[in-house]
Structure formats: C-alpha cells, structure tokens
Amino acid sequence: MSETDPNTYIAPALQRGLAILELFTPQRRALSLTEIANALGIGRASAFRLVFTLEHLGYLGRIDDGKSYRLAPRSMQLGYHYLSGLDCIEVAIPFIDGLRDATQISAHMGVRDGTEVVYVYRAHSHMTLSSNIAVGYRLPAHATAMGRMLLSGLNDDAIAQLYTGVRLDRFSENTAVTLTSLIQEVAEDRKRGWTMNRSSFVSGIVAIAAAVRDHRGQVIAAINLSGPSAVMDQPATLDRLTAKVVETADAISHQLGYLPPAS
C-alpha cells in the first residue's frame, strides 16, 4: 500500500462507529445488537464494544426493552452543529415560514450531498395529509423536486460524472431511470426555473420546488411546498403556489447577495 494511499490513515474502529450511527434512519429508529452486527458484517463481540463505547459517550441510548438502541441526544448535536454552520438556513427560515403561513402547506429546504438531497429545515403544516419528512432526512436527488433543482446547478457533464456507476432507482412512473432522461429533465427544470413532482414517494403528495442561489449565482439549496394533491393539484392553484415558491426562493437568494443577470 502506498504511503499516499488515503486508506493508510483510516481508523477502522472510528469508521465502524460512524457507520453504526448512519444505520439509524426515520424508518429504522431502533436496532438490536444483532441487527447492528449483521448490518456491518462483524461479530457480536466487536459490535458490542463499539456500541458500548457510543453509549458511554452519549451517542446511543437503550430503549425500554434494554435490548435495542436508538440515537441519543449527543448524536443530534452533530447535525445541529452542521446546520448552524449553514448561513443560508438562518436567512431562509423567516421566508420559508412565511411561505408555509401564506399557503398553509408544508415547506422545506434541502441541500445536496452527492446524489442525495438532505432536508435541513421544515415548516410543518397542520393539514391532515401533509409531508412528514423531518430535518436530516435524505432522499435521492434524481427522484425529488428539490433534488432536481439542486442538480440544475450542475452542467450536463457534471451530472454525468456525478452519476457514473450510480443506479437510478424508480420510485414512481415519472422517475427518470436513465442518465439521458435525467439530464434532459434537469435541463428543462433549469430553463423553467422550477419543477414539480407528483406522488414521488407518498401517493397523493405533490411537491413544487425552486433553487436558491448565493452571491456567486451558484445553486446552494432548494425549497419546496409539499402537500396533498387534492389541495394543490388544480391548474389555478398550482400556478399560484408555483409563483409563491419561485418568489420565495428568489427572495432568499437576494438576501444571500444574488443579483440575477439583466434581461
């Protein structure tokens, strides 16, 4: 192994410890020691030492049955420290809250991490059928409205490079499952300045998204409205909601120093 090989400096125990934390998702909030060991492909004894250490440090906690674990408050601090370092969130919060208040529909902000969109803020609506996606949630960018708007900040070659060797899973009949179709869809989104998805992950939910730009004009985030199709999916309503999303994204971008090119 070359001394310049980055794998030379990787600490396997730390890598496995972080991998344990990444096993927990909104759909999988609790895991047993056996499940953790199986997921990492290691023995129970090794898994126990890692889990014991994470529990001792406050990153994991046991649930009532004493046999399963869940994320503890200290692990949440890692996410909050990351979020607090994103200046765009602090700027965007009053605008996103205002978008929710004006429409009574859940509004979100997301940033791109590789081929995923990470939800970094949520203004929740009290509608009976509304988005239940929480902060920290990850979804595939190619299959989501916010994700596609985040990809619109890349050129075609950059998108092709990003998705080299990546399988585009189908989540609905409208999901782009080939690189060619994804690049074409993103090009249309980029030209239009917004995008919309119907029933991408939850049947009956519509999402409308637009991009947020920084002072350099780079796409750094996206916002959306996400709510029931029975409320949103009417031509006049869609037009009004789309205009509100684009207006809000533009207002956030303006606060971040973005000046659109003169037409």
Taking only the tens place, the pLDDT of each residue in 36-69 is 999 999 999 999 999 999 999 988 999 877 789 9
Weakest mean pLDDT among 83-92, 98-107, 182-191: 83-92
CA distance 78 to 96: 23
Beta bridge partners of 228: 205
CA distance 148 to 67: 41
Q: Work out the pLDDT band at 6, boundaries 50, 70, 90.
A: low
Q: What is the pLDDT of residues 110-146, one digit of tens each?
A: 999 999 999 999 998 876 455 667 788 899 999 999 9
User: What is the token pair recorded at 31?
Assistant: 């895991």
CA distance 252 to 246: 10
> Model's pTM, two decimal places?
0.69
Strand 205-213 versus strand 60-62 pairing type: unpaired
Contact 245, 210 (CB under 8 A): yes
Total count of residues recorded for the chain: 263
Contact 138, 201 (CB under 8 A): no
CA distance 47 to 236: 56
